[in-house]
Chain A
Amino acid sequence: MDAELILMQLFSGVALGAILVIAALGLSIIFGMLGVVNFAHGALFMVGAYAGLWVASVTGSFWWGLLAAPIMVGVFGMVVEYVLVRPLYGRSIDDPLLLTFGLSYVLVEAVRMIFGSDGIPFPTPPQLTGVWDLGVGFFPIYRLFVVGVVILVLVLLWLGLEKTKFGLIVRAGARDPTIMKVLGVDISKVWLLVFGLGAGLAALGGVLAGPMRSVNPEMGSLVLAEAFVVTVIGGLGSLLGSIIAGVLVGIAISMTALFAPEMATIVMFALMAIVLLIRPEGLFGKLA
């Protein structure tokens, strides 16, 4: 096996991992802040892909789709938090999970009703088609673009969480919401925004993944499983863990695709099983 091929596959893995990172990050942010695992996360990813596709076809520009889908789904996420999830705080931890599962069931069927059950091709934007010569081989520009966008989002998230007053409130609220209320912070507003942010990140992942995967109503269930695997490996609630685990899983998948293609869909679950055996709390997680 020549080294150039392996190197190229490594790049592919990073691009794949970038999507996984975005998918897992939204899940992890919502969990870290609200203690809710959003089972509709995969469905929101799928809705984001369809929203992006729809906006792109109406405006004729991929860029509007990329911009509008996360905002649309983010607002939808805030409505979901306000109307459906909020009444469940203080009840069993299973209840928000069951509710978001039910929501995903409805969303998948709603998309089938509007866009049909068959997959729709998501064309790569013309500015980003073609390949770049990386010196070792030719690499699709679109995948480099995806990696770039994800890095940009990560930097913005980091700045937002670490350097702004809002980020300070979010971090403090994740640690002790009661104290925040005592200090006079309206924590429910923060929860609303965080849920919207998580949903928006899912949608961004959906639009970015669109040209790399086929867009169909069932794509969410695979994404949900992938996001779960990444957060379990990285440690639930740990953002750094999600990033490292996402890239790791992406590389593992593309390397397996090179050497044993029939194992590619299975390898990430095997990785998760190994992590569970050695460190049940995840690589960067604290024992819950």
Chain B
Amino acid sequence: MSSPALAAPVPSTRQPSGLAGALTTYRVPLSIIALCLLPWVLPSQALAVNVLVYGVLAVGYNLLFGYTGMLSFGHAAFFGAGAYVTGIAIGKFGIPWFAAVPLGILGGGLLAFIIGMLSTRTRGIYFSMVTLALAQLIYYVALQASSWTGGENGLRGFTVDKINLFGWKLNFLDPINKYYVLLAFAALALWAVSRILNSPFGAAIEAIRENERRARTCGFDVERTKLLAFTLSGLICALAGTMSALHLAFVPLDLLHYQTSGMIVMMTLLGGARSFFGPFIGALVFLLMEDVFSLWTSHWQIIVGSIFVLFVLFLPKGIWGTFLAKVIR
């Protein structure tokens, strides 16, 4: 950040003491330890990989929704863009996976920058509507550009089977290997988000969330800060997209659908927006519910949707947010 206004010192009151303080200080190592154990506690390894992908997605989204206070309904666009760019780079241009991943992240980030330029011109409810509409635009573009994206059938033909790390060959088709390789990406994302939140910029976005007018009066460049938060959030979501592409070796068109955007919102809110662990917990709970309820009925979305409605009504802080407020203090 070059703007001097954003280099203001971080107020010390943001770091709570006690158990909550320890959780905040060691949030990245703690998350990584929890994620290392995940495949051994969950019913299936496929579910663990999904939690990883959607957890990163929700964490990236929460940077915008929870911390900057901007309710985007279009983050499927960046998730999908990351996946498509990675898939196209590997499948159509033969680019190796380690170069295709940053390309995917950059592609999604660029899209986030463009959509952010348009949507951050609006505020509040308008912002939600505009992000939804622009993400639908991306969906229809991907549907029409079928020679590149495979259209309705999705993108296929870019299997990554072996990963060569400094002469150390790894079979990427093995689910446990796959999980721990993707975990390295997730760890990177978590560290990046934590670093962003600890920076003066992190204080600035929370200032905008709490009171936009006051933040502006204090000299913050609100528009630029919002656009930067939007783009950073898009970059993390694009990373989740590349992880999904590597995992499935397939990009379904549904990744870009409005339902996906909605699912990101639901996961984040269920777990607890405004908290570091919340979105990951939300992704875990959402996917577990899907896993469990779909055993009983193919209409599991009715149950999950109803639970979400109850959360909005009675537990708007989500699981982790409520836990923090009630149990820890």
Contacts and interface: CB of A to CB of B under 8 A. Distances in A.
A24 to B, nearest CB: 11
Given A98-B265, A113-B302, A272 B130 contact: yes
A97 interface: yes
Interface in B242-289: 257-259, 262, 265-266, 269
Contacts, number: 117
A266 B138 CA distance: 9
Interface residues of A, number: 44
A123 B129 CA distance: 33
Given A225-B258, A266-B137, A272-B130, A105 B313 contact: no
A97 B125 contact: yes
Nearest to B125: A37
A269 B137 contact: yes
Contacts of B309: 84, 99, 102-103, 106
A262 B124 CA distance: 33
A186 B129 CA distance: 31
Contacts of B136: 221-222, 225, 269
Contacts of A110: 299, 302
Given A225-B258, A272-B133, A105 B305 contact: yes
Interface stretch (B79-87, B115-123, B193-201): B115-123
A266 B132 contact: no
Contacts of A112: 299
Contact of B133 (A95, A98, A102, A228): A228
Contacts of A231: 129
Given A236-B125, A276-B122, A269 B134 contact: yes
Contacts of A92: 316
Given A105-B308, A106-B302, A276-B118, 5 more contacts: A98-B312, A109-B299, A221-B259, A225-B136, A272-B133
The 7 closest A-B CB pairs, nearest first, are: A269-B137, A105-B305, A106-B305, A109-B301, A102-B309, A102-B308, A228-B129
Interface of A: 31, 37, 39, 84, 87-88, 91-95, 97-99, 101-103, 105-106, 108-110, 112-113, 221-222, 224-225, 228-229, 231-232, 236, 262, 265-266, 269-270, 272-273, 276-277, 280, 288
